Structure 1
Amino acid sequence: MTWYIDQGPDSDVMISSRVRLARNLEQVPFPHRMDAQTARKAADEIVKAFFQDDTERKRHYLLVDLDSLSLEDRLALAEKRLISEDLAKAGDGSFHRAMISRDESVSIMINEEDHIRIQSMQPGLNLEQAFDGAKQAASILERELPVAYHEKYGYLTACPTNTGTGMRASVMAHLPGLAMGGRIKDTVDGLIKLGFAVRGHYGEHSKSQGNLFQISNQLTLGISEEDLINDLKRMLQQLIEQERGVRRELYRRQPLLLEDRVMRAFATLKSARLMTHEEATELLSTVRLGMALGLLPNLQPSDVNRIYALIGPASIQKAHGQAMTPAERDSARATAVRDLLERSGA
């Protein structure tokens, strides 16, 4: 079972946790300055250093030549957050690779913005375990490769804002209560003033859909990884209580209105014949809220998580093995959602 199907701590608000570590090879130009020969050599060295002759590691990780995949296949990986959208859309010929664990909890991107970008993901609010997974992969590579590191500034990265720890710790937060209560703008503004970054579902440059927000640290220099995680976690625990409080208050004030909204969303998911990706994520957000309030006792979080993972435009096309028009995708998406809900018994 892949990691994102499971539930984790506080997963009624914090859908998932991710820790990303950026590393670069010493004396090698950053990816945006590399020629093809250098990019190929760097990719080969990184892959060799990670796998070595470790049979168990080779069995646990899948090496993906991203340049050999179609754009739709790369975007499907991005929709599952296994690679970045920038890497998915990057042109061929730059020797882009990814090493992805079989349970999809750890992925190592090669020749993205940095030579190495390791990301480790866990369900719920579980930043410590996500960090452990990323650090373990980084340690393997750092033992075998000369990594660009400065005694004063820390790990050197292509973007100066990542220099230092090279770490971005983030969560995917589901905040329908704050959104419905008209408090989301003030909340986001407050988080930004405190020094945190708030982005949409797919990270930088993306907008929020389905009340999902990616919240991460911005500071990477002059502070340890553990302190960064602790600072982020303290803020998130306050945000969790705030979101839960608003949900309870909304339900106390207008129970029938909220129940009607949840049941209408659930009924639409079970019966619609056409459904855009944006509509599906909004309906699933409302259903997830209803589950947290105990209104849909027969529906399991794993069922909703499974639907989320399969409804992106590229994922729909990949499942059908062909390019599709928007209308064809909307029809296939609605069918997939109906089938998944029917199999869940909800």
Structure 2
Amino acid sequence: MGCGASKEAPKAAAPAATPAKPTAEPAKPVVTPADPPKASAAPAPAPAPAKAPSAPKDPEPVKSAPSATGGTYELPKIGDEKFDAWLSAQLAASGPDVKDTTDFRYLTFSEIPPFIDLHKSLMRKNLTPELFAQLKDIKSSKGYTLSNSIQAGVLRPHLGVGITCGDEECFELFKDILYPVVKGWHGFDPATQTHKSDLDPTKLTFPEDIASKFGTYVKSTRIRAARNIAGFSLPAGASVEDRLAVEGVLKEAFASLPEPLQGKYYPLGGLTSAQEDELQAGGFLFQKPGPMQLLGAAGAGRGWPDGRGIFHNDAKTVLCWCNEEDQCRIIAMEDGGDIKGVFGRFCALSDSIKTASEANGKSLMYDPKLGFLGTCPSNLGTGLRASVMIVLPELNKDVHKLEEICAGFDLQPRGSSGEHSAAVGGKWDISNKQRIGFSEVELVQKMIDGVGKLIALEEELAAAAAGGAAPAKTPSAPAAGSSSYELPKIGDEAFDGWLTSQLAASPADVKDTDDFRYLTFSEIPPFIDLHKSLMRKNLTPELFAQLKDIKSSKGYTLSNSIQAGVLRPHLGVGITCGDEECFELFKDILYPVVKGWHGFDPATQTHKSDLDPTKLTFPEDIASKFGTYVKSTRIRAARNIAGFSLPAGASVEDRLAVEGVLKEAFASLPEPLQGKYYPLGGLTSAQEDELQAGGFLFQKPGPMQLLGAAGAGRGWPDGRGIFHNDAKTVLCW
């Protein structure tokens, strides 16, 4: 996983999901995934109709001064005139760096960057002027500086981590900035905690009955991590000599693997066309990162493709990448659910690289506090991601229950459209959330135990659906009235106690339902470090006091508006609107949030709309190219009807009235768009299967998910539905 690239602030417990590693524009019209797919994994499903907000596109590069080595290096255009001018001045003033190449320049920042609202990283959050002054002139023996380290985070504003390491010394030299970043990303404090490693697969508990269940339900298994060799630079700071030396050590390691793991090493610069096609077809090929992509902006793409390569065994159940993000990424994988066997191969790979390193008088990069070291702080500790692809058709009908079980084992479930979405065909990707503070054996064991629990519940639900006994429900504490509402456990004793007292003191809200309560906060929440949202950043005690008693004519309050951001600490926005009036009543908190998220200031700027497709310029020659290269296209947006509440604050009456208006709209569509409306509460089993197979079905949000925590799941499924035309080229939720 690369340094997190997310518009939402990073979760403190661990990165919620492995951010996709960027790839350069490939020579062939085939997209190469950053993490290779599981062995014989099914092709990725077509995109679902809705997606979470994505990171902004790469900024447009602008031509800049020739590099010291005679090439031309392009700075990104961030989009803020003053910041772009500052960057250009810093580049012009930067002296040559011995690591510069014809197509890459390392900048030397003479002062702390004048970060703008677009910069979201933990590096930006923790780098003070005093700390910059303290560290700016420090250089490792390999020549890596603070400026080198923060360059990617300065040039790529949306990154969640924003700092890279160029060699092993960086972790000590720059620990005053790295340790807070590690703590913010992982919830692990290297200043007070110690990491542990355990690569003994015999310690896993995986009894035959559980292994048999895994064999039935799990379609593929994969475990990956990075290994780096002490004494050589990491890719973001590597010299040509170090890069080639690393490749040499790794080739020795591959040559000494035991028979089941033996295979072939493919130098990236020496691939034949047939080899390239074969590696690309298997998802094994990685591309040069573009200069404005994460690894490219950090300098890891210099001297491409020399010293890079790919190894896999004959059975294609182990795979290694040489000198990509780290010196060596090791992956073990296979079809089926033999997680103990996969972990055994993973450990054998790690041991072989360690043995080859020691034979060359080297060792693996490892620190007692930080564990295995690597380029990005998001991958410290074990750096391990263990995942299974598993089919759970019954649990797929209750995403919240599945997520609830996974949370108990610190696992991350991902559906077809990412977090909090159902999975087409009931096929889920389940992986460990944590990286550091737990050993490899502990993390894989959590995976076994958690997935085993999911399988057991899946079988109970299947038996109940077939007429057997239904699984027992977990009781929860009764709330006001006759409802039973569960508060999340944030994990901070004082804050959890405060939440409980606020719930107990909250009066009844006319919008409450049997399974949901709106809280009324009597004071500004005592936010903790886990709270990352722009709402938390901008909500001062004075502003809370100013807005707390204001209520829209539909009954939506400030407390209603911030509830999701209080209960879901990792959210990046942290505030919702319940009706149209909110945008005026609460603009003193909403406008700063909008500015922080979009870089657009509603107080001084005006938006414009233009829905005339005839104004697009799309000549035939370009259209022809799109027809050749583009596999699918989607455009989506939201529309809401004035006079009715938004879902987070809607009454039953408003929800049904909105449905009525929309059904009239669907009935009056012109012929190519005509189709059928499916009320969510009236679906037959066949209709549900068909909609799910097409990625058209949406699920009730659990109470601790974003929409659920905001109240948008009340009264489910009444008033909800799905429309699509006969050709399935338009879709409405």
| Match among 227, 246, 250 for residue 461 of structure 2 | 246
Are 1:126 and 2:330 an aligned pair? Answer: no
Percent identical across equivalent pairs?
Answer: 23
Pick closer, same or farther for the CA change 1:8–1:36 going to 2, 3 Å. farther
Aligned residues: 252
| Match among 254, 260, 267 for residue 50 of structure 1 | 254
Q: Distance in 1 between matches of 2:410 and 2:345?
A: 25
Contact 2:213 2:455 (8 Å CA) reproduced: no
* Equivalent in the alignment of 2:244: 40
Contact 1:66 1:74 (8 Å CA) reproduced: no
User: How far 1:196 moved relative to its partner?
Assistant: 2.0
Q: Distance in 2 between matches of 1:174 and 1:63?
A: 34
Q: Distance in 2 between matches of 1:158 and 1:248?
A: 48
| Match among 272, 275, 282 for residue 77 of structure 1 | 282
| Match among 190, 201, 215 for residue 430 of structure 2 | 215
Pick closer, same or farther for the CA change 1:60–1:143 going to 2, 3 Å. closer
Pick closer, same or farther for the CA change 1:261–1:201 going to 2, 3 Å. closer
User: How far 1:252 moved relative to its partner?
Assistant: 4.6
Task: Give CA-to-partner distance per residue, 1:62-87, whole Å, 9 cap, x none.
Answer: 22234536676544222xxx56xxx3
* Equivalent in the alignment of 1:19: 223
Are 1:101 and 2:329 an aligned pair? Answer: no
Q: What is the TM-score with the length of structure 2 in the denominator?
A: 0.30
| Counterpart amino acid of residue 215 in structure 1 | I
Q: Distance in 2 between matches of 1:88 and 1:202?
A: 25
User: How far 1:151 moved relative to its partner?
Assistant: 2.7
1:294-309 aligned at under 5 Å gives the runs none
| Counterpart amino acid of residue 28 in structure 1 | F
* Equivalent in the alignment of 1:144: 356
* Equivalent in the alignment of 1:226: 441
User: How far 1:35 moved relative to its partner?
Assistant: 4.7
Q: Distance in 2 between matches of 1:158 and 1:142?
A: 18
| Counterpart amino acid of residue 177 in structure 1 | E
Q: Could you say what secondary structure the match of 1:11 adopts?
A: helix
**Gapped regions of structure 2 (runs ≥ 5):** 1-37, 42-210, 291-303, 358-362, 469-683, 696-733
* Equivalent in the alignment of 2:560: none
> Over the residues paired in the alignment, what is the CA RMSD in angstroms?
4.0
User: How far 1:61 moved relative to its partner?
Assistant: 0.7
User: How far 1:13 moved relative to its partner?
Assistant: 2.0
Q: Distance in 2 between matches of 1:10 and 1:49?
A: 32
Which protein shows a greater Rg?
2
| Counterpart amino acid of residue 264 in structure 2 | L
Q: What is the TM-score with the length of structure 1 in the denominator?
A: 0.59
Q: Could you say what secondary structure the match of 2:222 adopts?
A: strand
1:145-164 aligned at under 5 Å gives the runs 145=357, 146-164=363-381
| Counterpart amino acid of residue 76 in structure 1 | A
Contact 1:153 1:164 (8 Å CA) reproduced: yes
Contact 1:251 1:258 (8 Å CA) reproduced: no
| Counterpart amino acid of residue 167 in structure 1 | L
User: How far 1:113 moved relative to its partner?
Assistant: 2.1
Q: Distance in 2 between matches of 1:14 and 1:47?
A: 33
Pick closer, same or farther for the CA change 1:242–1:236 going to 2, 3 Å. same
Q: Distance in 2 between matches of 1:61 and 1:213?
A: 31
| Counterpart amino acid of residue 101 in structure 1 | N
Pick closer, same or farther for the CA change 1:187–1:97 going to 2, 3 Å. same
Task: Give CA-to-partner distance per residue, 1:194-228, whole Å, 9 cap, x none.
Answer: 53223357999x99554332211122323222222
Pick closer, same or farther for the CA change 1:261–1:215 going to 2, 3 Å. closer
Contact 2:268 2:306 (8 Å CA) reproduced: no
* Equivalent in the alignment of 2:326: 114
* Equivalent in the alignment of 2:528: none
Pick closer, same or farther for the CA change 1:109–1:199 going to 2, 3 Å. farther
Pick closer, same or farther for the CA change 1:261–1:103 going to 2, 3 Å. farther
User: How far 1:166 moved relative to its partner?
Assistant: 3.0
Pick closer, same or farther for the CA change 1:45–1:203 going to 2, 3 Å. farther
Question: Which structure features the higher share of helix residues?
Answer: 1
Q: Could you say what secondary structure the match of 1:138 adopts?
A: helix
| Counterpart amino acid of residue 161 in structure 1 | S
* Equivalent in the alignment of 2:383: 166
Pick closer, same or farther for the CA change 1:197–1:76 going to 2, 3 Å. same
User: How far 1:176 moved relative to its partner?
Assistant: 2.4
Q: Distance in 2 between matches of 1:197 and 1:230?
A: 14
Contact 1:20 1:134 (8 Å CA) reproduced: yes
Contact 2:235 2:323 (8 Å CA) reproduced: yes
**Gapped regions of structure 1 (runs ≥ 5):** 265-277, 283-346
Pick closer, same or farther for the CA change 1:95–1:187 going to 2, 3 Å. same
Question: Which structure features the higher share of strand residues?
Answer: 1
Q: Distance in 2 between matches of 1:220 and 1:13?
A: 25
* Equivalent in the alignment of 1:273: none
* Equivalent in the alignment of 1:191: 406
